[in-house]
Amino acid sequence: MSKLTLDRILHTQGFGTRKWCRQLIAAGEISIAGNVITDTNTPLETDGLEFTVLDEPWIYREHIYVALNKPANIECSRKPSHHPGVLTILPDQFTRRDVQPVGRLDHDTTGLLLMSDDGAFIHTQSSPKHHVPKVYVAATQDPVTPELIERLLKGVKLHDEPAPLAAETCRMIDANHLEIVLEQGKYHQVKRMLAAADNHCTALNRSQIGNLKLDELGLAPGEWCYLDAAQLALLTAPFTKQT
């Protein structure tokens, strides 16, 4: 447990500068358990602290861990160039807290995206050294064949890659959809692997990271949620392969 003054609590949660947070407090815009708080000097226990800012309820979080169902035509960059950035979907406080995508999805790729302000978490989830499996569903221009599945499982050579890249698992869903599991996370990897195997990816959705499944989160495109301890544990648990 830790104790912080209210102005510092608000600052760490992304509500603005310490000066601005003190002004909010002085204006009577902060309440705890229904009581307006105007004292900035008394340290408060942060563990499990619930408070209201401008009539909106918040919970103190040392770090933020978010799952988002990314829609199409949204860029994962914090400095987007051609489409709206993913941070526009989230509260403004998250930008001030330096919340950022854990890895990236292409602007036209949809599905599960993690976001956090915890640098160690971001590194663990995005670094190829940690081999976090990611599950994608790809729509293909040409029909899925046993030969295509075999090539993706054996490995295909991509330009600028020193060795062939192979899927961890790959299975046919229907005539023009396949599920592919990757650990490497290379640039445009699914699309490039399908092209190298003489097919073309027409749509791509990330359905799962580790054992965390998008459909079990119940998020519509553009919706997000905080991840609890049990959901975070799914990201590091031994991967359960699809059958």
70 and 189 co-located in one domain: no
194 and 167 co-located in one domain: yes
> How much is the pLDDT for 233?
96
Rounded distance between C-alpha atoms, residue 172 and residue 168, angstroms: 14
The residue out of 59, 83, 106 marking a domain boundary is 59
For residue 5, pLDDT over 60 is answered with: yes
pLDDT in tens, 131-178: 889 999 999 999 999 999 999 999 999 988 888 999 999 999 999 999
Write out 90-148 in H/E/C secondary structure: CCHHHHHCCCEECCCCCCCCEEEEEEECCHHHHHHHHCHHHCCCEEEEEEECCCCCHHH
Instruction: List the CATH number of the domain containing 190.
Output: 3.30.70.1560
> How much is the pLDDT for 77?
76
71 and 175 co-located in one domain: no
> How much is the pLDDT for 2?
86
Residues 90 and 74 sit within 8 Å (Cβ to Cβ) = no
Tokens of 159: 């330009």
169 and 183 co-located in one domain: yes
For residue 220, pLDDT over 90 is answered with: yes
69 and 39 co-located in one domain: no
pLDDT bucket at 243, cuts 50 / 70 / 90 = low
Half-sphere exposure of residue 133, counting CA atoms within 13 Å on the CB side?
21
> How much is the pLDDT for 78?
72
Residues 41 and 5 sit within 8 Å (Cβ to Cβ) = yes
Rounded distance between C-alpha atoms, residue 108 and residue 235, angstroms: 24
Instruction: List the CATH number of the domain containing 229.
Output: 3.30.70.580
Could you tell me if residue 242 is inside a domain?
no
Count up the domains in the chain and report the number: 3
Q: How far is CA 95 from CA 4, 5, 76, 164, 205, in A?
A: 22, 22, 13, 38, 25
51 and 97 co-located in one domain: no
Would the pTM count as exceeding 0.85?
yes
Rounded distance between C-alpha atoms, residue 193 and residue 11, angstroms: 45
> How much is the pLDDT for 104?
87
Which of 20, 88, 86 is CA-nearest to residue 54?
Answer: 20
Rounded distance between C-alpha atoms, residue 218 and residue 205, angstroms: 15
Tokens of 186: 């290379």
Q: How far is CA 126 from CA 39, 113, 114, 131, in A?
A: 41, 11, 10, 9
76 and 45 co-located in one domain: no
215 and 124 co-located in one domain: yes
Q: Which sequence positions are flagged as catalytic? A: 106
pLDDT in tens, 109-121: 999 999 999 999 9
114 and 228 co-located in one domain: yes
Could you tell me if residue 240 is inside a domain?
no
Element (H, E) at 234: helix 229-234
155 and 204 co-located in one domain: yes
Instruction: List the CATH number of the domain containing 13.
Output: 3.10.290.10
Better-scored residue on pLDDT, 229 or 128 = 229
Range of the domain at 98: 65-129+211-234
